[in-house]
Structure 1
Amino acid sequence: MERRRLLMATNIPLESFSIVISILLIICIIASKEHTKLNRLFLWMLAINAFILGCDIFIWIGGGHPQLVGAMKAANFFVFNLGYLLVALFTAYMVTYIRGKGSAVSDKIVPVITAFCAVAVLLVIISMFNNMFFYFSEKGYFMRSPLHWISQAYPIIIILLDMGIILKHSGKLGVKDTFALLSYGILPAGAMAVQIFINGLALVYPAATVSLLIIYVNIQVEQSKRLREKELELTQNRIAMMLSQIQPHFLYNSLTAIAQMCKKSPDKAGEATIAFANYLRGNLDSLTQKGMVHFDRELRHIKTYLSLEKMRFEENIQIIYSIGATDFMLPSLTIQPIIENAVKHGICKKEGGGTICLETMETAENYIIRVSDDGMGFDTAAFFRMNGSMSALKMCVFVLQPSVLER
């Protein structure tokens, strides 16, 4: 009895502190608002780890109370089986992170480990009936059975396999990441080995908590930092893209044309001013657009731009829209630069102007966007090593795959 009180005085504070650490890490992950696969897997690991620790504390507190045996059996069932799930989740986390580092990992690893854990779960279920791993005494105390070591051997084997995979890809991971991932194998496996020989000492999940803390500091924090840097880079790219679209000469020419209209045709000048404002709004909106945009939105921006160009060149520029598909997404301001290029380098350089055609279509596998014009050609001899020049139709084609873009 004295030994049990000593174990309770050691295990309950240790596991309670581990729960606090797990909850704090969960709060940190949620507060980051970064919804990546790695974060989701890590959150599940932390939540399950905290729940297991809570169940184990309940078993320690409930010991010696026969009326709580049923609840303690249920808690013990969760401790064992969720422990196997935790190992499987770590394998998925490890594989996802290694792949993110550009290293190829077999697709069979996670299913094989999951199946291995499923067998372990089945054995625990059987043990609930034949007591081959554990049982509860008449006084309500958890007791190990002679085959208890088998239940501990399963996660040790899986962890050793995971460690082998980590060491295999250590070159891509680097020293810090390798150490962080290996800690989830070394610390819990060492704790399991101790528990096999020292009955009652609860070290596995506190050790797992320490490992999760190491992973958070060395991997999760760095991952968040890289994501923030990537978002900053994307924002800077959006600003550069927006500035490249709002070119000074186009603004000056458009405003000059509107000023001239104010004297000749005030109503037309008012329409042109609204179109000019919509054009600027479309470019500014691209700064806050993080994902894809619907093609209809891109098409409206293109029509606004071309209406301003037609205002400047009047009958010298003709536009043909052959829109056969609209129900797809694409990056903001993808097509408009190509249209502008056709106007600037094709139509404007051809005496008498010309025609621009925008066409979209859907095939069985792709969405196709085709931009073409019949403006000035270019000398193809240097490029194709052929004589003559091309002054007929010029074309730019986008092929968008629905598997990549949202529909």
Structure 2
Amino acid sequence: MYGIEIALHILMAIVMTLIFQGCLGSKSARKRIPGYFALLSLFDVIMLLACVFELYFLQKSMDGKSWAVILSQIFSCLDFLSYFSILAIFVMYIESLVSQRKSVSWIFAKIAVLVSVIYAVLWCISVFNGMFFYVEDGIYRKGKYYIFGQTGGYVVLLIVISFLVYYRGAIGPRAFLVLFSFVIFPVIAVVVRPFIHFFSIQIALSLSIILIFDFIYMYQIRLIGEQEAKIAEGKIALMISQIRPHFVFNVLNSIYVLCDKDPKAGREAIGNFSNYLRGNIHAAEKLNEVSFDTELMHLQYYLNLEKMRFQDDVKFELDIKERDFNIPPMILQPIVENAVRHGVCKKKNGGVVKISSSRAENFIVIKIADDGVGFDTKSISSDDKIHIGINNVKERLWMMCGGELDIHSEIGKGTEVEIRIPLKRDKK
């Protein structure tokens, strides 16, 4: 009676087991795939196998075997517990995905967990008292409070819809559609179940999880090689672009003059310039992130050179509250250089550039602010050198650590660049 349905659930359980092993199989996979997704896969396997044994013993119970009825009820409870666990874990999973790019409220997950726990218990009780459903002649029948029993799953799915819609900007259009399958597929299963009895909600959820795994993770893994190659190529170009001829000429000229006036200061300037050039070359050789202290040290060499050139016209202030984190190399200097060249140097009597770092919820926030002339952010053309440089930094931030960059500027008052680096992220 349930032969086709049992066979399909076994087949799906095998596929989901392979996905679960894929989540844990290699160190690289464990780093890139969140633990919530691994849990999602594990509970899906348990749900499918519970459903298999539930149907198997249900068939046996039709032959009048009382022990088969008890075993069918036990596996039915396990089926419901796994099902509602999957719903709750999925909400936590998508919240963890979005939290890597944007601060989120975990109220969605808390409500989903509460609803799932309550209804998991109620459905397990229903297995024995029939308030939501009961079995008659080997067929599931609707109980007196069946509609009420259905509301739990729909409430959690409504939470999923609300979260996906609210954070669709952070999720992205393609990922949004794939994650939305977790809602669409079960709804389709409910509609077609009366006509195609073997297309169960368990199968529908499993198909959605397979789609999510294939699109989000396999697609991302395929892109990793391309991104790393792009980062490697971009770093060489970045190194060359940062060692600008006019900057090198001005620094060497300043050192030349300084060697006559103050030989000790001249030697110190040569050391700073040497370390600065070495830092640029080393940055091109590194594919991964560096510690913030390393990046700050490289920036300090640049600041020392600028202090030598501009004296009191340009002042630098450091307010470092957080430093125990990693950052893509050569991120800070291009922004600070823009603040100097296009901000305070264009202001009469110069100004101040302030670099700060702090923690805000799930992010490290780095700010580079100047009190220079400011500019209209909307007026920058796509081929403007400032625009190209900032876009380069933005792209490397996103590709290497999921970071984001925003610019706030007001003409006559100055500019502030804010970098947000997520604390919870998959390190490559």
Determine if the TM-score, normalized by the shorter chain, exceeds 0.5: yes
Q: Which amino acid aligns with 1:177?
A: L
Tell me how far 1:281 sits from its aligned partner: 3.7
Partner residue of 1:388?
none
Deviates more, 1:106-115 or 1:244-253: 106-115
CA contact (8 A) 2:112 2:159 kept: no
Q: 1:333 to 1:163 in 2, by over 3 A?
A: closer
Q: Distance in 1 between matches of 2:343 and 2:161?
A: 60
Structure 1 residues 312-334: Cα deviation after superposition (integer angstroms, max 9, x where no partner): x6xx8469877563223587545
Superposed, 1:38-53 pairs within 5 Å as 42-53=37-48
Q: Which amino acid aligns with 2:190?
A: A
Q: 1:77 to 1:148 in 2, by over 3 A?
A: farther
Partner residue of 1:336?
333
CA contact (8 A) 1:184 1:212 kept: no
Partner residue of 1:56 out of 51, 57, 60:
51
Partner residue of 1:184?
185
Partner residue of 1:82?
82
Superposed, 1:293-312 pairs within 5 Å as 294=292, 296-308=293-305
CA contact (8 A) 2:23 2:38 kept: yes
1:325 partner SS: strand
CA contact (8 A) 2:314 2:340 kept: no
Q: Which amino acid aligns with 2:239?
A: M
Q: Distance in 2 between matches of 1:300 and 1:98?
A: 32
Q: 1:84 to 1:363 in 2, by over 3 A?
A: closer
Q: Which amino acid aligns with 1:83?
A: Y
Partner residue of 1:120?
119
Superposed, 1:211-290 pairs within 5 Å as 211-217=208-214, 221-222=218-219, 238-251=235-248, 275-286=272-283, 288=286
Tell me how far 1:84 sits from its aligned partner: 2.4
CA contact (8 A) 2:131 2:146 kept: no
Superposed, 1:325-404 pairs within 5 Å as 325-328=319-322, 333=330, 336-337=333-334, 340=337, 359=354, 398=416
Tell me how far 1:48 sits from its aligned partner: 1.5
Identity in percent:
23
CA contact (8 A) 1:87 1:158 kept: no
Deviates more, 1:240-249 or 1:85-94: 85-94
Partner residue of 2:143?
147
Q: Distance in 1 between matches of 2:164 and 2:272?
A: 61
CA contact (8 A) 1:42 1:93 kept: yes
Q: Distance in 2 between matches of 1:66 and 1:11?
A: 23
Q: Distance in 1 between matches of 2:163 and 2:340?
A: 55
Q: Distance in 2 between matches of 1:34 and 1:304?
A: 38
Q: 1:34 to 1:318 in 2, by over 3 A?
A: farther
Q: Which has the higher contact order (CA 8 A, sep 6+)?
A: 2
Partner residue of 2:8 out of 6, 14, 17:
14
CA contact (8 A) 1:183 1:214 kept: no
Q: Distance in 1 between matches of 2:10 and 2:182?
A: 24
Q: Distance in 2 between matches of 1:207 and 1:244?
A: 52
Q: Distance in 2 between matches of 1:320 and 1:167?
A: 47
Q: Distance in 2 between matches of 1:106 and 1:405?
A: 15
Q: Distance in 2 between matches of 1:361 and 1:218?
A: 38
CA contact (8 A) 1:370 1:396 kept: yes
Unaligned 5+ runs, structure 2: 374-411, 424-428
Q: 1:225 to 1:154 in 2, by over 3 A?
A: farther
2:319 partner SS: coil
Structure 1 residues 260-281: Cα deviation after superposition (integer angstroms, max 9, x where no partner): 999xx99999866654442234
2:300 partner SS: helix
Tell me how far 1:309 sits from its aligned partner: 6.1
Q: Distance in 2 between matches of 1:368 and 1:157?
A: 43
Unaligned 5+ runs, structure 1: 378-393
CA contact (8 A) 1:279 1:305 kept: yes
Partner residue of 1:208?
205
Q: Which amino acid aligns with 1:19?
A: A
Tell me how far 1:80 sits from its aligned partner: 0.9
Query: What TM-score do you get using the length of structure 1 for normalisation?
Result: 0.57
Tell me how far 1:79 sits from its aligned partner: 0.7
2:320 partner SS: coil
Partner residue of 1:390?
none
Tell me how far 1:44 sits from its aligned partner: 3.5
Query: What TM-score do you get using the length of structure 2 for normalisation?
Result: 0.55
Deviates more, 1:271-280 or 1:156-165: 156-165
Tell me how far 1:358 sits from its aligned partner: 5.5
Q: Distance in 1 between matches of 2:29 and 2:108?
A: 29
Tell me how far 1:50 sits from its aligned partner: 0.9
CA contact (8 A) 1:16 1:53 kept: yes
RMSD, matched Cα: 6.3
CA contact (8 A) 2:315 2:353 kept: yes
Q: 1:277 to 1:115 in 2, by over 3 A?
A: same
